[in-house]
Homo-oligomer: A and B are copies of this chain.
């Protein structure tokens, strides 16, 4: 009976044999023993948990999932390029110090690499801090770039809801000293375009400003030192009712009940330009410099959003806080709205699919002289979008092709492998996407079945007679129509029949 320790010892023994370059037969024998022990262990626990899994919170993408993922990426990249963005890439890990002090309480979720006798490294937690490091390091004061890459968080995964420890972020950021709110408005336009393009259903983009939040905390009587922690309580309002958030503020965080109640009045407010006007007249808020600045800029933002024609899906929402430390101005978050049925009065939010904001201080944290580069950006949460689309495909039984093959090169008779290989080589060289079964003498039925299964639309059949006549029999899989095509016209014929309308 094998147990885990015994298996480990055996694995170590195998490792040593290999290291010592022992007799291959001996190694093979010990490896077989190891596999047997592992199989036993797996069998006992109901599954082979030893090797046959991906790490916690991660997953493989199958060809079908990749096909869906590529559709989403294409929509997003097309949008980013439509807005004139360049693209950069950065390493998957950074010096540990680069990430230190950027994520507040979430820093504990960072994956560190083992100290193997060199630099101390961590996997990137987002794409924003690497961008700031990149800008400071290369003294770039001006860029509009996108970056699509995986980021890593040792969070509790909720994979059915699209929350993973390894996940993609699709970021678009504008860095540079510009006139106020123009780039900020473009980021919101981009979110609007992407969510509309992907046809995920109705959505809402909540907007707020860190300066309004800070001003609000000040006029409500929150001590300076509690701004960030009270802010992170406010951030929970999309998941918890006000009463619970209030008791966290008062009970756990020691805020006075009066201050909490004053906050409670503000954070239930949401609306549009009218609300901004009202708050600009608010006797307390209007006296606070930060809040006034924030409100003035939000007003300007809404003017630009009106020009873009997208205010219908934007809500100025005083309860939006966002967790990250580095935001300094506008913040926003897009949520999908679920219309369960027509009787539901208010659509229910099913979670954030995009978010972002302005972070004018982050690049300066990396610059030796503290030179600032103002930045604003948006991050699209691809995994949740991907989950939704995947479920939709499953439900609709839509058949997704995982290859783009235009034609299968086949034969009806035996001994024609050489002729098939000659023909497919011609097709490949002409740029035709073509496959052939890797069998010497495949049955025609099997070849046709392969086309049905994989969605290949055409079959090019070579046979003795066709070879003699200098033609290829082209069969349309869907209609079973067959035509003889002269060999020299085959490429053109395949192109014509498979060109996208």
Is A23 in contact with chain B by the CB < 8 A criterion?
yes
A50–B179 alpha-carbon span in the complex (Å): 33
Is A418 in contact with chain B by the CB < 8 A criterion?
yes
Interface string of A11-37 (1 = CB under 8 A from B): 100110010011111000001100100
Q: Which residue of B lies closest to A136 (CB)?
A: B52
Per the 8 Å Cβ criterion, residues 65-97 of A in contact with B are: 66, 69-70, 81-95, 97
**Chain B positions within 8 Å of A111 at CB level:** 113-114, 116
Give chain B nearest CB distance to A40 CB in angstroms.
Answer: 9
Q: Which of B55, B66, B89 is within 8 Å of A95, CB to CB?
A: B55
Q: Do A53 and B228 have beta carbons less than 8 Å apart?
A: no
**Chain B positions within 8 Å of A497 at CB level:** none
**Chain B positions within 8 Å of A174 at CB level:** 438
A145–B166 alpha-carbon span in the complex (Å): 22
Q: Do A112 and B116 have beta carbons less than 8 Å apart?
A: yes
Q: Do B87 and A439 have beta carbons less than 8 Å apart?
A: no
Q: Contacts A21-B229, A418-B307, A433-B81: A137 and B53 contacting too (C-beta < 8 A)? A: yes
Q: Which of B81, B150, B226 is within 8 Å of A92, CB to CB?
A: B150
Q: Contacts A137-B53, A228-B24, A428-B82: A91 and B189 contacting too (C-beta < 8 A)? A: no
Q: Do B118 and A56 have beta carbons less than 8 Å apart?
A: yes
Q: Do B92 and A39 have beta carbons less than 8 Å apart?
A: no
**Chain B positions within 8 Å of A115 at CB level:** 114
Give chain B nearest CB distance to A325 CB in angstroms.
Answer: 8
Q: Which A residues fall within an 8 A CB radius of B?
A: 11, 14-15, 18, 21-25, 31-32, 35, 38-39, 42-43, 48, 50-56, 58-63, 66, 69-70, 81-95, 97-98, 100-101, 104, 111-116, 118-119, 121, 123, 133-134, 136-138, 143, 145, 150, 152, 154, 166, 174, 176, 178-179, 182-183, 185-186, 189, 193, 224-229, 303-304, 307-309, 365-366, 368-370, 402-405, 417-418, 421-422, 425, 428-429, 431-436, 438-440
11 A-B contact pairs sorted by A residue (CB < 8 Å): A15-B101, A21-B225, A53-B95, A60-B134, A86-B402, A87-B402, A112-B113, A182-B421, A186-B438, A307-B422, A309-B425
Instruction: Pick the 3 closest A-B CB pairs, nearest first.
Output: A63-B86, A178-B438, A58-B91
